[in-house]
Amino acid sequence: MIKTLINTPALVNYMNRLNAEKQRLEAVHMREMFATDPSRFDKMSISNDGILFDYSKNRIDEKALSVLIKVAKESRLEQVRDDMFAGVKINTTEDRAVLHTALRSRSDALIMVDGKNVMPEIKAELEKMADFANSVRSGRYQVTGGKITDVVNIGIGGSDLGPRMATQSLREFNDGPKLHFVANSDATDLDDIIEHIDPATTLFIVASKSFATAETMLNARNAKLWLENALGKNIGGHFCALSTNLKATQAFGVSKKRTFGFWDWVGGRFSIWSAIGLSLMISIGPEDFDKFLNGANSADQHFLNAPLDQNIPVIMALLGVWYRNVLGFPVQAVMPYDSRMSRFPAWLQQLDMESNGKSVLKSNELTMLDTGPIIFGEVGTNGQHAFYQLIHQGTTIIPCDFLLACKGYGGQENRNMLISNCLAQTEALMAGRTLEEADNNPHHVFEGNRPSNTFLYEEVTPHTLGMLMAFYEHKVFIQGILWGINSFDQWGVELGKELVCNIEPMLEPNNKLAAQNSSTEGLLKAVREMKKS
Ligand code: F6P
């Protein structure tokens, strides 16, 4: 029996209609949809500021999409969107505004939080970052060994994934010092980097919103020790900090001059647009960082102004809901055809799964609908030679997003191979191959009808990447609204952190072993034994 919810998400009330649309479309293969409507691509693709979003290879038509648009409207999407941009505290479980969009705002409009306009502080912090980045890049900023040659960003989660992915993706624009990233508490993560760099010309950026994350603080302490061993105690100039916790940055010994702040209304996984983007800014320079913000702002303007049925993040989100809740596909893949974007799937995993991997609604009730999908991905063409077999012929249908640049690094032969492979995959997924076309060999049959979106752009520039990332941010936000959950907290990561405090002392051979259950106890015993030998 279905439990009645007090604040039922509109989507619940539309499930019957959506299921009827599903049944209607079950009889129609995408091949047929293309064959009967020559204008399908024109109708089902949207261009915005250099990005073409083709969603025509999806198991949907205008009629089914119009029902989903109704769901979005009834979920008050436009109102909640405007609330977010205006600084309303839509992160209800933490009583916070959600204003990553203000960090890339290009307008003079005031954005008020608790009676204060946040824009002057944002601008001041950005200017301070740009001054510092310029002085590091030009060599004006001097440390023990002179000019900085290497920058190591120490951070994890949102304080690592976005900056690392963007810095790698934009390597073509790196004309500053060499960037490195350390996240894991596994000592090899730091050691494998410091092995190759000169302590006298290295700058460490300790990036942590809370400045309390155990892995980051451990790595920061170890980096400090390494510097002290090499250079003595006077190493303050080799550190800067990015955080909202200015007390803790001072306690760690970072000078205020080199501390860059941000605010509680910037979620960790949305923080690359804030001081957390300093590593990227040092790598590509403040001007290109500004273009990156511009790109994100362009996506914001599109999200704010385009009609819902012409709105890229809205369509992305509605298709995701269609597959997750109506067709019952639990996974979503993302395939950048770009080696330098290899961390894009990892960045998206945190953005999507930490935001929407929830079971409790904003109304405190348990959801009766599935929420965030499982995200995974790999660069093309590598993935083709690994797991695409399952995507083409497996029993689980996995909607895919393909990201493709027409121009970029290298010669035409390489580029054309990437482009043709990417388009071939989307075509194979959509059209498949019938038994007849497979000469009656069932192993050579591809049922097709497998969905994909394609994002096409000239090349990966700061502007394009900013736009792409912001589209995904908004897609996640919109889905959260449709599911009735708060996409901006992450309580699900806390229990594990708490249990570490019980478990860690039990690793000491002389401490009492009293684990919560026989499995953990047995494993701890085995750990103690194996550590001895
Ligand atoms: O544990 C999860 C998390 O809080 C993420 O949300 C966040 O991006 C990451 O840890 C790092 O947090 P911080 O920037 O405070 O070190």
* pLDDT tens-digit readout, 116-159: 999 999 999 999 999 999 999 999 999 999 999 999 999 999 99
Peptide bond into 144 cis (omega under 30): no
Name the band, by pLDDT with cuts 50, 70 and 90, for residue 8.
confident
Q: CA 338, 406, 105: angle at the middle one, nearest 5?
A: 80
Tokens of 77: 């999407």
pLDDT tens digits for range 359-396? 999 999 999 999 999 999 999 999 999 999 999 999 99
pLDDT of residue 484: 97
Residue 1 has pLDDT above 80, yes or no: no
Name the band, by pLDDT with cuts 50, 70 and 90, for residue 4.
very low
* H-run or E-run covering 474: helix 462-483
pLDDT of residue 386: 98
Q: Relative to the CA of 493, which ligand 1 atom is closest?
A: 1
pTM value is 0.97
Ligand 1 pocket test, pick from 205, 355, 493 with the greatest ligand atom count within 8 Å of Cβ, gives 493
Tokens of 375: 């995200």
Residue 460 has pLDDT above 60, yes or no: yes
- The percentage of the chain sitting over the pLDDT mark of 90, rounded to a whole number, equals 98
Taking all residues of the chain, what is their mean pLDDT, rounded to a whole number? 97
| Distance from residue 439's CA to the centre of ligand 1 (Å) | 54
pLDDT tens digits for range 230-288? 999 999 999 999 999 999 999 999 999 999 999 999 999 999 999 999 999 999 999 99
Average the pLDDT over 161-166 and give the result. 98
Name the band, by pLDDT with cuts 50, 70 and 90, for residue 469.
very high
pLDDT tens digits for range 479-494? 999 999 999 999 999 9
pLDDT of residue 6: 54
pLDDT tens digits for range 411-447? 999 999 999 999 999 999 999 999 999 999 999 999 9
pLDDT tens digits for range 496-518? 999 999 999 999 999 999 999 99
Residue 3 has pLDDT above 90, yes or no: no
Residue 9 has pLDDT above 80, yes or no: yes
User: Could you say which DSSP state residue 233 is in?
Assistant: S
Name the band, by pLDDT with cuts 50, 70 and 90, for residue 2.
very low
Residues 6+ apart with CB under 8 A from 389: none
Question: In the structure, which protein residues have their CB atom closer than 6 angstroms to any atom of ligand 1?
Answer: 156-159, 208-210, 213, 216, 268-269, 354, 490, 493
Residues 6+ apart with CB under 8 A from 349: 375, 376
| Distance from residue 140's CA to the centre of ligand 1 (Å) | 33
CA distance 428 to 416: 18
Name the band, by pLDDT with cuts 50, 70 and 90, for residue 7.
low
Name the band, by pLDDT with cuts 50, 70 and 90, for residue 57.
very high
CA–CA distance from 353 to each of 54, 323, 358 (Å)?
24, 16, 9
Residue 104 has pLDDT above 80, yes or no: yes
Residue nearest to atom 11 of ligand 1 (CA): 157
| Distance from residue 216's CA to the centre of ligand 1 (Å) | 10
Ligand 1 pocket test, pick from 154, 182, 210 with the greatest ligand atom count within 8 Å of Cβ, gives 210
**Edge-to-edge strand list for the sheet holding 178-182:** 178-182, 150-154, 202-207, 239-243, 259-261
